[in-house]
């Protein structure tokens, strides 16, 4: 199953009052494993950057002034995310900005049925605990030492690891007695490399008549095997 974990940075908290999207970072997962495919882009918001927002993500109005407009990159972004479920932390916020930008481009909004919110998952798994990305990374031992400021791609990479942990870890999908049909699964060998491993369907195996005869002959040569002790009695 393909899923996209993503994060955004913005000029503020509310697209309805003129705040804009300035950065997006996306991580591709297949069967809850990072494939190494990512999408990342900065956007020129065509407006000023409040100092409160700049203090969070470090993206200044000057830095963003030569970046593309969201409308210039919307096609490649939509192509990357496809029709996959979209995972975000406090996903309503990110979906709100993403759909607001799509609306400004006269594009169809992404249906909320595709939304997976890791904050909602964390509240069920750890009720009463802190559910910030930092707090949850600390709980699961995910290294965030390089997270000095918020960054969409960095935060998406941390969230991808957290999402896997919140939903059962690397062993998700295993079950006793499950019949495995032939399928190709993606196994991440490094952060940027991916290897494909094929699991083939279980094949029935029965001993042939010749093998049974050879086995019988071998058993007859054994001298007083333990399993025959007391059999005569």
Domain boundaries along the sequence of the chain: 2-174
Residue 9 counted as an annotated binding residue:
yes
Nearest to 166 by CA among 89, 81, 84, 93: 89
Rounded to whole angstroms, the maximal C-alpha distance in the chain is 97
Is 57 marked as binding a ligand? yes
Average pLDDT over residues 40-65: 96
Three-state secondary structure of 18-64: CCCEEEEEEEEEECCEEEEEEEEEECCCCCCCCHHHHHHHCCCHHHH
CATH superfamily membership of 2-174: Ribonuclease H-like superfamily/Ribonuclease H (3.30.420.10)
Instruction: Indicate the pLDDT class of residue 79, thresholds 50, 70 and 90.
Output: very high
Higher-pLDDT residue of 170 and 92 is: 92
Task: Give me 13's structure tokens.
Answer: 């908290």
Q: Are residues 160 and 27 in contact, defined by beta-carbon separation less than 8 angstroms?
A: yes
- Contact partners, residue 196, CB within 8 Å, separation at least 6: 184, 185, 186, 187
- Per-residue pLDDT band for 204 (boundaries 50, 70, 90) equals low
Q: Which pLDDT value is given to residue 213?
A: 83
Q: Pick the more confident residue, 210 or 172.
A: 210
pLDDT of residue 191: 37
Q: What is the pLDDT of residues 144-163, one digit of tens each?
A: 887 767 889 999 999 999 99
Tokens of 229: 């002790």
Cα 105 from Cα 85, distance rounded (Å): 22
Annotated catalytic residues are 150
pLDDT band at 87 (very low <50, low <70, confident <90, very high): very high
């Amino acid at each position: 199953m393909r899923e996209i974990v993503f994060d955004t940075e913005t000029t503020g908290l509310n697209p309805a009052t003129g705040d804009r999207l300035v950065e997006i970072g996306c991580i591709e997962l297949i069967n809850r494993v990072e494939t190494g495919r990512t999408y990342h882009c900065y956007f020129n918001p065509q407006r000023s950057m409040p100092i409160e927002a700049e203090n969070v993500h470090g993206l200044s109005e000057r830095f963003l002034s030569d970046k593309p407009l969201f409308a210039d990159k919307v096609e490649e972004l939509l192509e990357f995310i496809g029709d996959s479920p979209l995972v975000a932390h406090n996903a309503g916020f990110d979906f709100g900005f993403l759909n607001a930008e799509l609306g400004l481009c006269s594009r169809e909004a992404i249906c909320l049925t595709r939304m997976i919110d890791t904050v909602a998952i964390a509240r069920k798994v750890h009720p009463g605990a802190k559910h910030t990305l930092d707090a949850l990374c600390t709980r699961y031992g995910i290294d965030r030492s390089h997270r000095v400021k918020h960054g969409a791609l960095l935060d998406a990479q941390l969230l991808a690891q957290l999402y896997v942990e919140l939903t059962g870890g690397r062993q998700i999908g295993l079950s006793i007695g499950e019949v495995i049909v032939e399928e190709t699964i993606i196994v991440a060998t490094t952060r940027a490399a991916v290897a494909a491993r094929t699991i083939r369907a279980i094949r029935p195996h029965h001993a042939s008549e010749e093998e049974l005869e050879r086995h019988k002959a071998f058993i007859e040569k054994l001298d007083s095997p333990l399993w025959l002790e007391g059999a005569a009695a």
